[in-house]
Amino acid sequence: MPVRKIKNSNPNADTKLQLEESAFSGEDLSLPMIGAAIATRGFHARSISWHSHDRHELLMLLDGGAAYEFENGSEMELAGGQMIIVPARFRHRASKDVRMPSVICAVSFDTARPASRHSTFTTKEMAWIAAQFQSRAPQLHTMSLALRRMAHALHQMILQQCKSPLTPDGTASMRLLVASIIVEAARHTSGMHQRSTVDAVTLATQHMEARFTAPLPMNEVAQKAGCSRAHLFLVFKRETGMSPNDWLQRRRVKAATDLLRATDRKLEDIATAVGFSSAQYFCQVFRKYTGKTPGEHRQP
């Protein structure tokens, strides 16, 4: 049967927070591969403890913000329009309190379950879906417009259907929508698999090139590259022989070198202009990569 519940925060807390959660099981929807289709909205009052699921979990953030950490040490922050695919039996938790409103639609599903006579998918289709979700590490993606629209529709449908007895047309509509979301997510993931690692490196370097003069967290670079921070460091090192941080520092030093040659600006101004937090740190990094101090580089 569908479940609808309100989770209240600690009444002793400074701010009373609330999370509304509604869910349908695969049995409710006559879709054996589904564990649950869940709609949440409101505030997360506290971090969620470590846990895992027997099925893959597709977490689609429709609005607000959320942050998760995983057993392999990686952390991911989501903004509205992004999704995380968490592999089955992969331990994870909310990495910190999320005090902003969040709207999440989640679907857990079992790609190992064989298709039956009454399944939405054929055996061949199930095999294709399973192949797209075979990654052993969590994946962060930006949802396609089609997927985002379907997730919004499913979220609204779950909330509405949980308020009254489930009707045959409601069951059929949700079953088709859940199946469509899985197919669209699999299609999106398939496209990501087909992209070479060079594409991820290209996206990362393009973003760093555009933003190197400002503070630039590597989590932001990884999101722009369409992968986790850990995966970005792995493929970037493999393709370029250096880490993304190394590439960024070298780019800043090159820009600083040009300014030192062409202008008489103070070191503090140049450090700020190329993205360093202080002149002292700028001098340390500059000497590391050039073997000279900025002052020595300026000497004719």
Task: Check residue 146 and give its pLDDT.
Answer: 87
Please tell me the predicted confidence (pLDDT) of residue 3.
55
Q: State the pLDDT at residue 182.
A: 95
pTM: 0.61
CATH number at residue 214: 1.10.10.60
- Judgement on whether residues 180 and 257 belong to the same structural domain of the protein: no
- Looking at the structure, tell me whether residues 290 and 207 fall in a common domain: no
Do 219 and 286 lie in one domain? The reply is no
In this predicted structure, the answer to whether residue 259 has a pLDDT above a threshold of 80 is: yes
- 190 in the same domain as 152: yes
Counted domains in the chain? 3
On whether both 25 and 155 belong to a single domain, the answer is: yes
Residue 176 belongs to what domain range? Answer: 3-194
Q: Are residues 26 and 72 in the same domain?
A: yes
Q: Mean pLDDT across the stretch 267-276? A: 94
- Alpha-carbon span 262 to 187, nearest angstrom: 50
Mean pLDDT of the 261-265 span: 91
Q: Specify the DSSP class assigned to residue 275.
A: T
Q: Is the pLDDT of residue 247 over 50?
A: yes
Averaged over 210-236, what is the pLDDT?
Answer: 89
- Closest by alpha carbon to 260, among 244, 248, 273? 273
DSSP 50: S
Q: What is the pLDDT of residues 24-61, one digit of tens each?
A: 999 999 888 999 999 998 765 455 678 898 999 999 99
Confidence at residue 58, expressed as pLDDT on a 0 to 100 scale: 96
Beta sheet of 3-8, edge-to-edge order: 3-8, 18-25, 34-44, 98-109, 56-63, 82-86, 139-142
Would you tell me how many other CB atoms lie within 10 Å of the CB of residue 220?
15
Window from 4-8, 64-68, 176-180, 295-299 with minimum mean pLDDT: 4-8
Per-residue pLDDT averaged across 256-268, rounded? 92
Q: Are residues 87 and 202 in the same domain?
A: no
Report pLDDT digits (tens) over 225-234.
888 888 888 8
Domain's final residue, options 228, 244, 260: 244
Q: pLDDT at residue 71 above 60?
A: yes
Please state the rounded mean pLDDT for residues 152-160: 94
126-143 residue pLDDT tens: 888 988 888 778 888 888
CATH code of the domain in which 111 resides: 2.60.120.10
End position of a domain, from candidates 194, 216, 236: 194
Q: Are residues 289 and 172 in the same domain?
A: no
Q: Are residues 170 and 75 in the same domain?
A: yes
Residues 253 and 232 in one domain: no
- Asked whether residue 32 falls in the same domain as residue 133, the answer is yes
- Under the banding of pLDDT at 50, 70 and 90, the label for residue 9 is very low
Residue that finishes a domain, picked among 194, 210, 226: 194
Same-domain pairing of 169 and 21: yes
